[in-house]
Structure 1
Amino acid sequence: MTMQYAEFAASGRRVSRLGFGAMGFAGWFGQQSEAEHIRALHLALDRGVNFIDTARAYGESEFLVGCALAQWPGAKPFVATKVEGLAGITQWGTPVPVEAAFPKGQVTASCEASLRALGLDHIDLLQLHTYWANWGMAGDWMEELQTLKRQGKVGQIGISVPDHRSDMVLPIVSSGLIDSVQTIVNIFDPTALEVLVPFCITHKVAVIARCILDEGGLTGFLTPESEFAEGDFRRDYFDGTVSRETYIEKVAALRRFLPAHASSLAALAIKFVLADPGITTAITSMHIPAFAEENIAALDEPPLDAETFHLLVTRHRFIKNFTNVKHFGRP
């Protein structure tokens, strides 16, 4: 297997273009053992993955990443985490005052807690877990991010776009104040590829693509009978903005590209995101060893040709904002 790598902004580091998303370590995609999580991360590292994305808000995720790294004998990977806001989950659904989400001292306190949980003295990338354009580009939160960077506790700083409205972060991308943007990119919603990603290339800002499998939906696992346990992130995810039947129908339409262009729907989705060279790294939950094996294996396949990529972008987009139901409930 040949891993693909890309330069991460001005860090001087090359990171794997397929990254390890550690949100699954929180148990939000079903319960697995700590040992299985650690095996999955070690497997990914052994296969050449060297970018790990976690967050203070992901339950025990940082702690488990730290445990896995303490046992890992190889080179230290690039570790990214996110500052936990105080305003609660609703900060992702609609803007709240920045002073409520990230009051003075919160960025610093969250970073220190992350360092302890991860067992590190340095975080390669610290991201604001959510960012709304009406917060501007100045304030205690930005001053603290820059101070942590000057102190050497943080290598790079970035933001995460809370939902599908990636264009709203263009001003801060052009400001020179941040090193990376994390945003949704997948077959169903490729809009970030149209404006945000080219903008980031121009301003030398790294792009971290998330939700590349649309919380697993693009793998084709979902059926009319699928049920999710209490506490599973997907419990309300697929049954709000659109009907489950419509979602399944849209996924089924992608099977026309198999096996000529990809071995599986998951491989098609991964190859689609990585087809754009402006994507620095694309993260997906690989908290189970079998998931890690399958996702990494997609990189052994030939890249998508331009015609197939164009068809996916233009004929299969299916933009819906599941954030509304996830955070506000059904109407």
Structure 2
Amino acid sequence: MKRRPYGDSGITVSSLCYGAMLIAQDPQLKGNVAPSLLHALDGGVRVIDTARIYPRSEAIVAATLKQWRGERPVLSTKLAPQTAATFREYRPIAEAYTPASVRRSVEESLTALGVETLDIVHLHQWWHLWTYDDAIFATLAALRNEGKIRHLAISAGDHEHDAVLEAVNLRRVDGIQLILNLFESRPLSSILPLAALRGAGVIARCALDSGGLTGLLTQDDFLARPFLRHAPFENYASRLNALAAHFVPASAQSLTELALRFALTAPEVSTVTIGMSSEAMVDVCLEAEQRGPLSDEAMTSIRREHVWTKNFYERLI
């Protein structure tokens, strides 16, 4: 597994990250130990991304890491907002975070994960105007001085990557997390070059668009998935067929491989977080990572011809 710098932070991360949002759905989960996570660690994954609000996630990660005898992975988590309403529309930051709620969430994550220090802490979902709230940043600076967090990051709202431009430009954060995939390549032209210039680490998420970009989901599967149920299935399928016609097998053996390698090819990306809640999915991701970057020609074609400005998530309020 290749290693990459997390911006200018001084830490390195594996190019693939274990996304623990659905770790509780590991079919082999037993006694809060997730075999999929252990399998990923065996394969060289050295960063785990979770969040305070992911069901049982932090507790399962902690229990599983007690069974791991190798190098300690980098732990990335996200603070719990006071309301989920701020995930889908702008609200003043005080509705999502206050100095007291930030401190409480950090303390709860430390306890749940069983560690003394959190390597990367994200403010979960972000809006541009929040960049200027000094009280929240002062609280996080104090927590860093206390040794409870190492690096501060922000997680861009779904398809709202431009909302983090100013925070990165002002170097208010050490890193960011955002959506990057075959349909959502716009960050490659805006925030990612700025992140590289300002030394910010980048965690890319939704590389498989909640499973849609695997090309393996039926219309019923779309309806069963919260992040895809509002997708116009016929339109989505048509776009997948166009991708397959252009790039499979010319550039990759499958749409899944193409999607993973697309996100991994971006040089500004520190790591790509993938929901690998089964050992089989871990193997698929590890194999794709080993195949290396896509060609410049393929990357250019995908960015020019297959970008799809959409946001199915905005209907989840």
Indicate whether 1:181 and 2:176 are aligned: yes
Mind listing any 5+ residue stretches in structure 1 that lack a counterpart? Answer: none
Match of 2:286 in 1: 296
Structure 2 counterparts to residues 1-331 of structure 1, below 5 A? 3-27=1-25, 32-35=27-30, 38-87=34-83, 89-226=84-221, 234-235=225-226, 237-240=227-230, 242-256=231-245, 257-327=247-317
One-letter identity of the residue aligned with 2:305: R
Q: Percent identity?
A: 34
Over the residues paired in the alignment, what is the CA RMSD in angstroms? 1.6
One-letter identity of the residue aligned with 2:168: V
Mark the CA change 1:226 to 1:186 in structure 2 (over 3 Å): closer, same or farther. same
Moved more, 136-145 or 106-115: 136-145
One-letter identity of the residue aligned with 1:283: T
Q: CA deviation at 1:292?
A: 0.7
SS of equivalent to 1:124: strand
Mind listing any 5+ residue stretches in structure 2 that lack a counterpart? Answer: none
Could you tell me whether the CA contact under 8 Å between 1:11 and 1:155 is conserved in 2? no
Q: CA deviation at 1:177?
A: 2.0
Q: CA deviation at 1:37?
A: 6.4
Q: CA deviation at 1:227?
A: 6.4
One-letter identity of the residue aligned with 1:74: G
CA distance in 1, matches of 2:167, 2:222: 40
Q: Count residues in correspondence.
A: 315
- Output one character per residue of 1:118-139: Cα deviation in whole Å (capped at 9) or x when no partner: 1111110011012111123333
Moved more, 62-71 or 7-16: 7-16
SS of equivalent to 1:19: strand
Mark the CA change 1:314 to 1:307 in structure 2 (over 3 Å): closer, same or farther. same
Mark the CA change 1:205 to 1:254 in structure 2 (over 3 Å): closer, same or farther. same
Q: CA deviation at 1:264?
A: 1.5
Q: CA deviation at 1:318?
A: 1.5
CA distance in 1, matches of 2:295, 2:73: 31
Could you tell me whether the CA contact under 8 Å between 1:286 and 1:292 is conserved in 2? yes
Q: CA deviation at 1:144?
A: 1.5
Higher helix share: 2
Q: CA deviation at 1:207?
A: 1.0
